[in-house]
């Protein structure tokens, strides 16, 4: 070994064979048995993701006295066999562009309220309502006190 290290001009410690990930092969029979259980749970409970499937498998396997399934292995198997649920990003797929179209006036309204803080520290509370067809202000109310529902209802009646 020393002669080989000298000929290659490398340290002898770099010549030993390191196992690589390519040398490792998973136990396919155990994966197939686990996959059969995963498919059974996924077909029975179609809305379950890999975490809930893992929890059910752990419960079943521990009842049988077998070792529990690792959630990473369950995820890997479910991903490889297209059993995962679609990811939920929390964002709606249809975004609202802010335009509400109505065919004629006085059919649909929208309202909003806000407050303006003055330099003196006082606050002015404003509420308004718009006609969605022509975007005209139907009514508004502005006052120094907090707005109540009766203030807004009174402004729309006038």
| Confidence (pLDDT) at 132 | 81
Which backbone phi and psi does 114 adopt, to 5 degrees? -155, 175
| Confidence (pLDDT) at 149 | 83
pLDDT surpassing 90 at residue 15 = no
Query: What is this structure's pTM?
Result: 0.45
pLDDT surpassing 90 at residue 11 = no
Mean pLDDT of the chain: 84
Mean pLDDT score, 39-67? 92
Residues in Cβ contact with 2 at an 8 Å cutoff, skipping those fewer than 6 apart = 12
| Confidence (pLDDT) at 19 | 61
Which backbone phi and psi does 75 adopt, to 5 degrees? -60, -45
* Alpha-helical segments (H) within 23-108: 28-44, 50-63, 71-80
| Confidence (pLDDT) at 9 | 85
């Amino acid at each position: 070994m020393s002669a080989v290290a000298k000929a290659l001009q490398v340290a002898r410690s770099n010549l030993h064979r390191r196992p690589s990930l390519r040398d490792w092969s998973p136990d396919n029979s155990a994966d197939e048995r686990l996959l059969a259980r995963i498919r059974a749970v996924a077909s029975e409970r179609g809305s379950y993701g890999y975490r809930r499937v893992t929890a059910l498998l752990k419960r079943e396997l521990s009842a049988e006295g077998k070792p529990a399934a690792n959630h990473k292995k369950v995820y890997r198997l479910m991903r490889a066999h297209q059993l995962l649920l679609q990811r939920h990003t929390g964002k709606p797929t249809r975004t609202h562009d802010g335009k509400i179209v109505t065919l004629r006036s006085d059919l649909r309204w929208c309202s909003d309220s806000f407050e303006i803080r003055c330099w003196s520290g006082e606050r002015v509370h404003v509420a308004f309502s718009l006609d969605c067809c022509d975007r005209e202000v139907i009514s508004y109310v502005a006052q120094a006190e907090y707005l109540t529902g009766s203030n807004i209802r009174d402004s729309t009646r006038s």
